[in-house]
Structure 1
Amino acid sequence: MCDKAVNEMVRIKKVYDKHYTVINNSILNDTSLKWEDKGLFTYLWSQSDEWDFYAKEVAKHGADSEDKVYKILRKLEEHGYLLRQRQRNNKGQLKANKWLLSETPRQKWISMYKKRTDKKEAPIRQNPEQVKPDLEKPNMVKPDLTSTNCNKYLSKQIKNLNKSLSKERKRDQEVIEILINYLNEFANEWHRAPITFSPEEYKKLVNAVHNKETSSLRSLAEKTVIYSEQYPQGYLLNCIKNLPEVIKDNDNSQES
């Protein structure tokens, strides 16, 4: 009897309350969207006009993370339910973002999104001046050694130390170059101006990333583009400094 009851047609009756949102059925019946997409759109649609959007605050009202919220926003933009624009003043300077929501998919918005994302050419980036690492050799006081073999051993150790430092410095610069590429990728995606760095800022980034865990670089770049319009260089530097240190298991094995 229980199985039969489960398989029977179920009729749902709506219980109305004072607080409700009126929405077109188009997005609810759009099979190209997931339920999570429709849910976030409905939440945004329920807010008042000129409502200030913060992904961190929206994420608090659901079980999804900030990153997931932004992924859903891209999906809504791709299907023409959301248009994200960057306003400019009379001098052509970038101002705050302006987003538009539509209950029905707008073909013009879809075309604008495709035109932006289908660009194969990489965004123009001002390559920061590569600062040559200033690795000063330690001022070694020549000891009064009578053994020639001892002098040779000491000289070899100094050369190995400088070689090791150069390799690590090169690795740090390569990491920052990868990070800058991510920044330009997201700046293009979010209609933001490319983030540029002075030689001094670039040098600070290279120093800060030394011996840091870098698996979250891509996420770090996206958050920098989204959250830090005032001073992205400083925001990024602080984020890198807060990355966890790399744990080296073979430190003891290198001492011999």
Structure 2
Amino acid sequence: MVKIKKVYDKHYTVINNSVLNDVSLKCEDKGLFAYLWSQADEWDFYAKEVAKHSADSEDKIYKILRKLEEHGYLLRERQRNSKGQLKANKWYLSETPKQKWINIFKKRSVNKKPIRQNPKQVKPDLEKPNMEKTDLTSTNCNKYLSKQVKNLNKSLSKGERERDKGIVKMLLNYLDICAEQWHSKPITFSESEVQKLIKAVHGKDIRGLKEVAEKTIIYGEQYPQGYLLSCIKNLPKDVNKGESK
């Protein structure tokens, strides 16, 4: 028989045994809860920062957080100012599971499906701008736009364009994941906005796109499409790609 001898130090955390004895939680769930509980009140929490102090990825951290929410140990809420605009997030931890929090989590999970169907309403707006069919082909504006397209086609090969399209597609998919994790509505993009993202991402260091997506969900509340585009444009250039040329 093996006996455990506890060696106490000055730095310790007092925690209720309820969460530690909850058989519905995995050891990794209990470990993350204990880490969060050890932090001071009003501590600014970021999944990316927690991931730096563990061997788990950010995606893994987010999954565990959802597990804690599902079982009533964590509640995440978005605060609003006097104008009703969304502001920073407020997180609450409880040593014992709260049924009220569990009900809130279930309600949010159920309400997500109809929200994701709404972007279909954007399609009519994308189909309407067929104004190029009118007799305006000789205007200076259209000449300028056609020159832009020609220049873009000359500067990028077909392979490069397809690669950039794939990068933007993955970025938008990850953006939906971030929105779900932060209990925010998915962000919809028009075809012209997607094309701008594709053009902006070319030649950039795409390793920063994950962080860009998270920032867009948290901070880009008024005009997330423009915020995301600005963040991509501000990314550093891909130095390795430049050297290869």
Aligned residue in 2 for 1:31: 23
Percent identical pairs in the alignment equals 58
Give the drift of 1:110.
1.5
Mapping for residues 158-173 of structure 1, pairs under 5 Å: none
Q: Does 1:120 align with 2:116?
A: no
Conserved 8 A contact 1:23-1:103: yes
Consecutive unaligned residues of structure 2, counting only runs of 5 or more, are: 133-141, 222-226
Q: TM-score, normalised by structure 1?
A: 0.63
AA at the equivalent of 1:102: S
Runs of 4+ in 1 over 3 A off after TM superposition: 123-138, 164-182, 193-203, 208-214, 219-233, 236-245
1:55 to 18, 42, 47: 47
Give a deviation string over 1:109-135, Cα, whole Å, max 9, x none.
112112212332216448497599955
Q: Decide whether aligned partners of structure 1 residues 204 and 240 sit closer, same or farther in structure 2, where only a CA change above 3 A counts.
A: farther
Cα deviation digits, residues 173-203 of structure 1 (max 9, x gap): 6864664455345324412354466887543
**Residues 171 and 213, structure 2, Cα contact 8 Å, conserved in 1:** no
Mapping of 1:124-135 within 5 angstroms?
A: 124-125=118-119, 127=122, 134-135=145-146
- What residue identity is the alignment partner of 2:7? V
**1:83 and 1:101 in contact (8 A); partners too:** yes
**Deviations 1:187-237 (CA, angstroms, capped at 9, x unpaired):** 2441235446688754320213569999x98x5785344565473432245
CA contact (8 A) 2:81 2:87 kept: yes
Tell me the TM-score normalized by structure 2.
Answer: 0.66
Q: Within 2, Cα distance between the matches of 1:243 and 1:194?
A: 32
Q: 1:48 to 1:210 in 2, by over 3 A?
A: closer
Task: From the superposition, tell whether residues 169 and 14 of structure 1 become closer, same or farther in structure 2 (CA, over 3 Å).
Answer: closer
Closer, same or farther in 2 for the Cα pair 1:183/1:65, shift >3 Å? closer
Q: Separation in 2 of the partners of 1:84 and 1:115?
A: 13
More helix by share: 2
Which secondary structure state, in structure 2, belongs to the residue aligned with residue 120 of structure 1? helix
| Aligned residue number for residue 235 of structure 1 | 231
Partner of residue 73 from structure 1, selected from 37, 51, 65: 65
Larger gyration radius, structure 1 or structure 2: 1
Secondary structure of 1:84's counterpart equals strand
The answer to whether residue 214 in structure 2 is matched with residue 223 in structure 1 is yes
The alignment status of 1:45 with 2:37, answered yes or no, reads yes
Q: How many matched pairs? A: 215
Number of the residue aligned with 2:95: 103
Q: Which consecutive residues of structure 1, in runs of 5 or more, have no partner in the other structure?
A: 1-8, 139-160, 246-256
Give SS of 2:113's match: coil
